[in-house]
Copies of this chain bind each other. A is one copy, B any other.
């Protein structure tokens, strides 16, 4: 939706308001800031609503992910949440329908009494669906992805939007003829993930991390972002800029990966994972005929990122005691324009700046509220964390224009409107 969102929003008309306090049961710093800023609303533990400011951030994160998925050839789909029991039970070796094997199912019932599940992932339905599209080696390889709502019946949900019972996940699934072909795509997907974390502004603290594998691979790869609030523990190898998850951090593994030198222990959040599934979900039903007419099961991989968890992680990493500091790439707006005071000529000037920014295709939140003090407006601006603050006041006009200040910086400066328009990048698309 990033491109059908409106460029300009007047804060006097935005229905959300900032809050001094988050709900008392909210222990996550990112959720606290996001709730106080009006980005999200807590519906119950582990279940959140996304409000206009939050929607803009999520849309930008999703568009970055979508671009990278399209770049590696991913085809976008959207599968259902409601799932048939039979599919998860009979057609596969895993029997992941069984609550004793998978303890995060939400189950529900149709009118006819038949039990349905709410998908926590989609390997079973997607490999089942692909039976109708894959028959020959000519149909492979390919990959599909979706931004789709997952339901997970987490016993505890206390990390804000970092671990929730309902969340949109970007899950991509790859289908290849064999392991060799799979690994070519796997490397591309790995690079796409590196690009994504870099583009959303947390590349500098995000590490490719070796984690436990499955039947078909010794390790899987996670992307872990260092933050004290993380639920995971990783050991970062400084020489190679690579990490190992605590769950597999042994001398044997270090040797195996040929990683030398020091390791530093850090708390971290898993912001993405990529996984070689092999034929675990394709055997025996999803098969193809090779050039010689012989049948083989399709070789699969899966690749996940949760946009909301990413939003939460960005806030954990990029904030200070006053509020959020959004990177430009995912900020809800490029500019936070503040009108100070009740002087009519100042208001007129601010309106002109607002209109000029919009004409130049720049996304701007305009704090045009009356009856709000300068101090309150500054505090709100710091909390919301838009990258550039532009103040129009009697003083700024007297000093020659608009006072601008980057969110992370302490001191501002006065610029003219023309200078301001040169400084800010218009929305790309």
Contact = CB atoms under 8 A, between A and B. Distances in A.
A77 B49 contact: yes
A17 interface: yes
Contact of A44 (B4, B82, B142): B82
B70 A6 contact: yes
**Copies of this chain held together in the complex:** 2
A17 B6 CA distance: 37
Interface stretch (A8-16, A89-97, A264-272): A8-16
A341 interface: no
B3 A3 contact: yes
25 contacts: A2-B3, A3-B3, A4-B63, A4-B70, A4-B429, A5-B70, A5-B76, A13-B73, A15-B133, A15-B134, A15-B144, A15-B175, A17-B133, A41-B129, A43-B80, A43-B83, A43-B125, A49-B78, A49-B79, A51-B77, A55-B77, A55-B78, A80-B166, A81-B151, A82-B151
Contacts of A66: 1, 4
A16 B80 contact: no
B4 A80 contact: no
Nearest to A64: B4
A384 to B, nearest CB: 15
Contacts of A118: 108, 118
Contacts of A154: 111
Contact of A50 (B16, B78, B108): B78
B43 A82 contact: yes
Given A43-B125, A125-B43, A165-B82, A15 B75 contact: yes
Contact of A129 (B13, B49, B70, B155): B49
Interface in A254-293: none
B52 A75 contact: yes
B111 A44 contact: no
Interface string A380-403: 000000000000000000000000
A142 B79 contact: no
Interface of A: 1-6, 13-17, 19, 41, 43-44, 47-52, 55, 62-63, 66-67, 70, 73, 75-84, 106-111, 118, 125, 129-130, 132-134, 139, 142, 144, 149, 151, 153-155, 165-166, 175, 429
B108 A108 contact: yes
Contacts of A50: 77-79
Nearest to A35: B132
Given A111-B153, A118-B118, 10 more contacts: A1-B76, A3-B3, A3-B4, A5-B76, A13-B142, A49-B77, A50-B77, A52-B75, A110-B165, A429-B429
Contacts of A142: 13, 15
A48 B3 CA distance: 27
A151 B151 CA distance: 13
Given A15-B75, A52-B75, A429-B3, A149 B149 contact: yes
B55 A14 contact: no
Contacts of A5: 70, 76
A151 B108 CA distance: 11
Contacts of A4: 2-3, 63, 66-67, 70, 429
Given A77-B55, A166-B82, A108 B111 contact: no
